[in-house]
């Protein structure tokens, strides 16, 4: 008997903007769905010929979540997120590569930041050493992602950093039943 050929992987992409001011603080947005603080970002849009690139996604999501132009720079982190639950509430029907880019907002636009009321509860410049460890601020996945972006952007780690999330065994077993 010939073993069954594995099905092709269905993989999505997402991107986030690591926006850091000269004083070291980073821009985080307060996600309404999870209640946690995250870097501005989201999933790539589908479209003809494969849809948008992760860099284009970073700039679009950054603009949508801040109301100002966000320019994506160098790639800082790539994170593998498996099928299943990631973050505080989301269920990923497909595995996903998440790309974090160093990004900028023009200094003249900093006082014009506005977040969409239906998706985000607010925005704030956070000390990147405090946000990941403050109780209830960030979930574990986004805390690791922010910490890796800080390490790479400061030169303390080579670019890009690579992170992997693995499904929790008990959750993966429940997904199949």
Q: Give pLDDT tens digits for 63-112.
A: 999 999 999 999 999 999 887 754 444 556 778 899 999 999 999 998 99
pTM (two decimals): 0.85
pLDDT at 50 over 90: no
Measured between alpha carbons, how far is 96 from 83 in angstroms, rounded to an integer?
Answer: 8
Residue 26 β-bridge partners: 20, 126
Going by DSSP bridges, is the β-strand pair 70-81/37-38 parallel, antiparallel, or unpaired?
unpaired
The CA distance from 91 to 24, in Å, is 32
């Amino acid at each position: 008997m010939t073993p069954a050929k594995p099905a092709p992987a269905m993989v999505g992409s997402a991107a986030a903007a690591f926006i850091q001011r000269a004083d070291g603080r980073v821009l985080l947005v307060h996600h309404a769905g999870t209640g946690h603080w995250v870097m501005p970002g989201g999933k790539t849009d589908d479209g003809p010929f494969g849809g948008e690139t992760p860099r284009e996604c970073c700039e679009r999501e950054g603009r949508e979540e801040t109301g100002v132009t966000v320019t994506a720079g160098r790639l800082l982190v790539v994170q593998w997120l498996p099928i299943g639950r990631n973050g505080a509430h989301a269920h990923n029907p497909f595995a996903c590569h998440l790309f974090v880019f160093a990004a900028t907002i023009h200094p003249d636009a900093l006082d014009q930041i506005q977040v969409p009321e239906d998706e985000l509860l607010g925005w704030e410049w956070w000390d990147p050493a405090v946000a990941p460890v403050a109780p209830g601020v960030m979930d574990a996945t986004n805390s690791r992602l922010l910490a890796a972006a800080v390490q790479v952007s400061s030169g303390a780690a080579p670019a890009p950093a690579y992170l992997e999330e693995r499904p929790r065994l008990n959750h993966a077993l429940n997904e199949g039943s």
